[in-house]
Amino acid sequence: MRVLLVEDQLQLAESVAQALKDTGLTVDVLHDGVAADLALSSEEYAVAILDVGLPRMNGFEVLARLRARGKTLPVLMLTARSDVKDRVHGLNLGADDYLAKPFELTELEARVKALLRRSVLGGERLQQCGSLVYDLGTRRFTLADELLTLTSREQAVLEALIARPGRVMSKEQLAAQVFGLDEEASSDAIEIYIHRLRKKLDDQGVAIVTFRGLGYLLEGRDV
């Protein structure tokens, strides 16, 4: 799953990004509001983390423009402001959560997980397809009650597929979830990850089905 972090304090941005990457998330880091607005209008994210005091365009304006485009992407606002009016203003604009600086990284991780659970899995902690079960709390997959060992890229592809039950995902959509802004998205690489996942899922009651010219679908099957 892909997260956008927009924070102009470089050291804080680096610390937060690394903490989220350590949990297996793909994280794009930007440092101003104009760049954030452009990314939010052209890229697909599971959650956005916006600092209020951004240069060129503040976090409130970025949020307002996002909601004006009809986007329901969950947004966590970061702020050094303690004024209740500012928090109310952000929530009224459509923020889903607020976190005041300074904060503990563990609290931010927990809040991001809660937003992911609501947005990606419809509020459920567990998602199941056949014998494959995904636990958003631990971000682990089990297959036939056994822990499934995955690389970070394989994890990202499988998370994207299981979060969209019954939906075909194109290579481009999968690549958007796997690769960050600073990486070259490759549809050929997606084919490799799909091939590896199929070998790990083989004969275990779940399959990745190819729809030629359209993409891939995760499907539960009888063993």
* pLDDT, tens digit (0-9, with 9 covering 90-100), for 145-165: 899 999 888 988 998 898 887
Strands in 24-73 per DSSP E? 26-30, 47-51
Domain boundaries, the chain: 2-119, 126-220
Strand order in the sheet with 132-135: 126-129, 132-135, 140-143, 146-147
pLDDT over 80 (residue 1): no
Four-residue CA torsion sign, 106, 8, 42, 34: positive
Q: What share of the chain is helix, strand, coil (3-state, %, to 5)?
A: 40, 25, 35
First to last CA, the chain: 29
Q: Give the integer Cα–Cα distance in Å for 157 and 175.
A: 8
Beta-carbon neighbour count of residue 171 at 10 Å?
Answer: 18
* Among the four given CATH numbers 3.50.50.60, 1.10.10.10, 1.10.760.10, 3.40.50.920, the one describing domain 126-220: 1.10.10.10
* Among the four given CATH numbers 1.10.540.10, 3.40.50.2000, 3.40.50.1100, 3.40.50.2300, the one describing domain 2-119: 3.40.50.2300
Closest CA to 112 of 104, 36, 162: 104
Q: Give the integer Cα–Cα distance in Å for 137 and 92.
A: 28
Q: What percent of the chain has pLDDT over 90?
A: 48
pLDDT over 80 (residue 183): no
Q: Give the integer Cα–Cα distance in Å for 181 and 199.
A: 29
Task: Specify the pLDDT at position 127.
Answer: 82
